[in-house]
Amino acid sequence: MTPTRTPAKAGTQDSYRHRIQCAVALIERAVAAGEEPPELERLAAAAAFSPFHFHRIYRAMTGETSGQTVARLRLLQSLRLLAARSVTDTALAVGYQTPQAFARALRQRTGASPSDLRAEPERLAREIERLSLPPGGATDAPLRVEVVNLEPFPVLALQVRGGYEQHHGGYLRLFEWATEQGLIESLTGLYGVPHDDRRDVAPSRCAFDCMIGLSARFSPGRGLRRAELGGGRYARVRHVGSYQGLEALTDALLAQWLPDSGETPREAPLHHEYLDDPDETPEAVLRTDVYLPLR
């Protein structure tokens, strides 16, 4: 694993924001026309990003998923129409199936009904202004990022769905299997690959690969699989603290460091390396390295 210095290349925060705005413009046009929102592949192509990393970069730059952008812009368009149209016409014009669905979405977002907002033009104007902007992406914070080369290495893997309790159970199963096979002394590291963002996906549906590195040769047992990590260049940044802060650090890596680095993400999943045992280390000083694959 060799850290390398990467020369600056063309690519800035502004260019990334412009590319994301191209995807937002597609959504805006679909909402204005009352059409179905564009599929992920079209949005990624409009922003000139690989579909593999587009959803993470979009979330990091805007502070919301593309689906949340659709919901926000649909509501924004409905408020712009509400002053001049009936509630039913407004709802159907922007893609709500029923006026009731529109009213529910509006109350959840603003705490008001359509009739409330029509009766208070100043409040309506404030809500239009508020919904005109996304919530905002990662806040500026100093990041210490290294670009490193990793040799490929084998890992024993098990995919689980759920939260940290399920992750813990997955690692216990890997440890138990390695112990039964007499391989536990060859343990070289703990790794994980998050496939979903738990801020946007229900915990029970979040897929996560639990992984352990073993220096000895092995043949996976039932329900386990052999996988490979590494092999190429990665941006590496260290997180210290609770695992719950890993998504925010990943957002900062994608929204702050990546645009100005001139680097391009590779079509491979990012992964974590867990450097401490959470059963023996205080949560505040747990160390985790986040690896973003680069071309």
Highest mean pLDDT among 61-65, 138-142, 177-181: 177-181
What distance in Å separates the CA atoms of residue 188 and residue 210, rounded to the nearest whole number? 14
Lowest-pLDDT range, 116-120, 191-195, 224-228? 116-120
Given this model, what pLDDT does residue 13 score? Answer: 73
CB 39 within 8 A of CB 184: no
Question: Residue length, the chain?
Answer: 295
Given this model, what pLDDT does residue 7 score? Answer: 36
Q: Looking at the DSSP assignment, which residues form a beta bridge with residue 112?
A: none
Q: Structure pTM? A: 0.79
Span 54-87, pLDDT tens digits: 989 999 999 899 999 999 999 999 999 988 899 9
Q: From 3.40.1390.10, 1.10.10.60, 3.40.109.10, 1.10.150.240, which CATH number describes the 13-131 domain?
A: 1.10.10.60
The neighbour count for residue 280, using CB atoms within 10 Å, is 6
What distance in Å separates the CA atoms of residue 98 and residue 89, rounded to the nearest whole number? 10
- Topology, domain 145-294: Multidrug-efflux Transporter 1 Regulator Bmrr; Chain A (3.20.80)
What distance in Å separates the CA atoms of residue 235 and residue 225, rounded to the nearest whole number? 26
Share of the chain above pLDDT 70, in %: 95
Domain segments of the chain: what residues? 13-131, 145-294
DSSP assignment of 184-229: GGGEEEEEEEE-S-TTTS-GGG-EEEEEEEESS-----TT-EEEEE
* pLDDT over 90 (residue 141): no
**In 47-192, alpha helices (H):** 51-62, 66-82, 87-93, 99-110, 114-119, 121-131, 164-180
